[in-house]
Structure 1
Amino acid sequence: MNAAAQFVSVSQRFGDFTAVDDIDLSIPAGKLTTLLGPSGCGKTTSLRMLAGYTRPTAGRILIDGVDATTTPPEKRGLGMVFQSYALFPHMTVAENVGYGLKLRGTSKDERRTRVMESLELVGLAHLASRKPRALSGGQQQRVALARAIAIRPKLLLLDEPLSNLDARLRVQMRTEIRRIQHETGLTVVLVTHDQDEALEMSDEMVLMREGRIMQQGAPADVFGAPADRFVADFLGYENFVRTASGLVTVRPEHLVVETGSSERQHALALPGTVTDVAYRGVDLLITIAAHDESGPITLLSDMRADGAPRVAVGDAVTAGAARAHIVELSE
């Protein structure tokens, strides 16, 4: 697979603090790659180094196979959408979208054509003459996206672009960004702390912690086989059990709660006591106090309400999981 960009032994240090720690990363061309992780993990610093706003302390950054480590941002041919959108309030939507083209000396006719093409792509051609203040948050986000696309960038970089939107708009814009990426074939790098966003949007997912890459791959591969406890915990596995052979994890929706004797043979079966029951309409969240090889643990089961047993706080139960749903973790 061709790489649109590469990090080669890249580090970034600010005094005694190491923000990015000797990473090697290949970003596939024509795909949407997410840099995912908690605050302070190095994902935004990595994006800023790729954009050229921050120079690596060590290592090289290649764009289309060419060393761009010292190339200034305006000469990298990249488009970027910030968390704040950074639209010019005194300009119309069309003027905002055409700003980067004007800086590049694009002719007025060519600029007009590409501005309208970009606005049509994000569904805002009818608002070309409006000012940003007359737009909703979601519309402003689309304008920022159109401005970045208009310059026909080698890579489109998105820094937490959906974090300022409400939940409904975030879900809608995930779909829109995926549609635009598919229609244009752009290489997109998206920074996010939201695992649902990364799982839904990514072709390639890069999970970071404390400046290092913990796991990289297709979302289904990473989600189905987390490399260690940190990755599993970040992706919502929640149940961690120490067995005689090592540490395993089970997602709440795969942990079955039963009362009395069961005819089902579970690869993992732990007796315990119900400590909380939360009814959520479609599903039932059952919290259980149990013990594993290391001592007391807390388990969480998320079962369909119409198939869950009737249990109450204090009931003795068994929490079980099929072998197919048990993930072994490296220590």
Structure 2
Amino acid sequence: MTTAAEFVAVSRHFGDFTAVDSLDLAIREGALTTLLGPSGCGKTTSLRMLAGYIEPSAGKIMIGGKDHTDAPPEKRDLGMVFQSYALFPHMTVAGNVGFGLKLRKVPRAERARRVAEALELVGLGHLGDRRPKALSGGQQQRVALARAIAIRPRLLLLDEPLSNLDARLRVQMRGEIRRIQAETGLTVVLVTHDQEEALEMSDHMVVMNAGRVMQQGAPDELFPAPANRFVAEFLGYENFLTLPERGLVTVRPELLTVAPGDVGGGETAVSATVRSIAYRGVEVRVALDATTGAGGATTPLVASLRGDALTPEDRAALHPGGRVTVSARPDHLVSLAG
């Protein structure tokens, strides 16, 4: 694995607040890496330190194997797309895309060629003469992306680039960014708080909290096996219970089985009371209170059942107050560190 950039024991303090705490992280060349986590977890601060807009309080920022900790942004050979796009309203689309090339004193003919190439790549080759105000939000986002790509950066940094778009455009742009990254071979670092976005787009996911890496890995490795409760909750897991032989475990709603009758017992089967039912076409979501401890202690669970697989007996038991048994295969339980 070739490393495009690396954080080596990087910390950043703002007064008494530690935004990033001894971060060690390698960014793989040619991959799309996401920094994922809630607001205040340190992901944007980390991206801005990589870009050179914020200085680390400690540690090193390595780019291309060289120490760039003290290098200004313009010496790092990076492209960045901000949440607000930051387009120049008085310039045309082509002028915006070519701005970085002009600063780098790229000859006019070469500049025009690379601007046209970047605009074609993002599907806006026909809009080079327009002004940003004449474009939709999705088109403005593409212009910002083309501007960053045109300079052919060593790394492309994306700071919540889709958050200002509506839901349909967000989904569309996820695919577009992934396509562009695959076609160009760019190394991309994407900051997001959206776990679906990260799962869909990433080659490598880095889940952060309180300035530290909680877990990292490929989406298909990380999602089925969260390391701790924070990661599990952030990735959308809803069920957490403590079993005598396993300790704290989680299990996804679609992997739970709900059977009529209060038969309970065993490591992976517990008695429960139906709290509510929500019919969602193919899916039936059942909220339950499971008896999991001594003295009648209960734990809330959510099961996602296939409506077409329910028998008449199942349906008769699925009403508020109904007594059922909830179970899961042992291999579907994920043990958590806490």
Q: TM-score with structure 1 length normalisation?
A: 0.97
> Could you say which residue in structure 2 is the equivalent of 1:238?
238
Give deviations 1:169-200, integer Å, cap 9, x for gaps.
Answer: 11110000000000000000000000000000
Q: CA deviation at 1:319?
A: 1.1
Which deviates further from its counterpart, 5-14 or 220-229?
220-229
Q: Is the 8 A contact 2:262 2:271 kept in 1?
A: no
CA separation in 1, counterparts of 2:254 and 2:84? 36
> Could you say which residue in structure 2 is the equivalent of 1:306?
308
CA separation in 1, counterparts of 2:288 and 2:63? 51
Structure 1 residues 154 and 206: alpha-carbon distance in aligned structure 2, compared to 1, 3 A threshold: same
CA separation in 2, counterparts of 1:257 and 1:168? 35
Equivalent pairs: percent with the same residue?
Answer: 66
> Could you say which residue in structure 2 is the equivalent of 1:253?
254
CA separation in 1, counterparts of 2:326 and 2:123? 50
Q: CA deviation at 1:270?
A: 1.0
CA separation in 1, counterparts of 2:194 and 2:293? 33
What SS class does the counterpart of residue 274 from structure 1 fall into? strand
CA separation in 1, counterparts of 2:160 and 2:124? 21
Q: CA deviation at 1:293?
A: 3.4
Q: Which amino acid aligns with 2:253?
A: P
Matches within 5 A, 1:1-331: 1-245=1-245, 246-260=247-261, 268-293=268-293, 295-308=297-310, 309-310=314-315, 311-331=318-338
What SS class does the counterpart of residue 309 from structure 2 fall into? coil
Q: Structure 1 runs of 4+ off > 4 angstroms?
A: none
CA separation in 2, counterparts of 1:267 and 1:85? 53
Q: Where in structure 2 are there 5+ consecutive unaligned residues?
A: none
Q: Which amino acid aligns with 1:137?
A: G
CA separation in 2, counterparts of 1:223 and 1:293? 28
What SS class does the counterpart of residue 26 from structure 1 fall into? strand
What SS class does the counterpart of residue 55 from structure 1 fall into? coil
Q: CA deviation at 1:267?
A: 5.8
Give deviations 1:264-308, integer Å, cap 9, x for gaps.
Answer: x98611111000111111211100011223732100011122124
What SS class does the counterpart of residue 126 from structure 2 fall into? helix
Q: Which amino acid aligns with 2:284?
A: L
Alignment RMSD (CA, Å): 1.4
CA separation in 1, counterparts of 2:221 and 2:12? 29
CA separation in 2, counterparts of 1:267 and 1:123? 55
Q: Is the 8 A contact 2:262 2:272 kept in 1?
A: no
Q: Is the 8 A contact 2:262 2:323 kept in 1?
A: no
Structure 1 residues 33 and 274: alpha-carbon distance in aligned structure 2, compared to 1, 3 A threshold: same
Q: CA deviation at 1:20?
A: 0.1
Q: How many residues align?
A: 329
Q: Is the 8 A contact 2:273 2:321 kept in 1?
A: yes
Q: Which amino acid aligns with 2:63?
A: I
CA separation in 1, counterparts of 2:287 and 2:303? 6
CA separation in 2, counterparts of 1:96 and 1:16? 40
Q: CA deviation at 1:261?
A: 7.7
Structure 1 residues 266 and 133: alpha-carbon distance in aligned structure 2, compared to 1, 3 A threshold: farther
Structure 1 residues 160 and 266: alpha-carbon distance in aligned structure 2, compared to 1, 3 A threshold: farther
Give deviations 1:93-147, integer Å, cap 9, x for gaps.
Answer: 0000000001111111010000000000000000111111111111110000000
Q: Is the 8 A contact 1:32 1:187 kept in 2?
A: yes
Q: Is the 8 A contact 2:156 2:189 kept in 1?
A: yes
Q: Is the 8 A contact 1:266 1:321 kept in 2?
A: no
Q: Is the 8 A contact 1:272 1:319 kept in 2?
A: yes
Structure 1 residues 297 and 261: alpha-carbon distance in aligned structure 2, compared to 1, 3 A threshold: closer
Q: Which amino acid aligns with 1:111?
A: R
What SS class does the counterpart of residue 100 from structure 1 fall into? helix
Q: TM-score with structure 2 length normalisation?
A: 0.95
CA separation in 2, counterparts of 1:304 and 1:139? 39
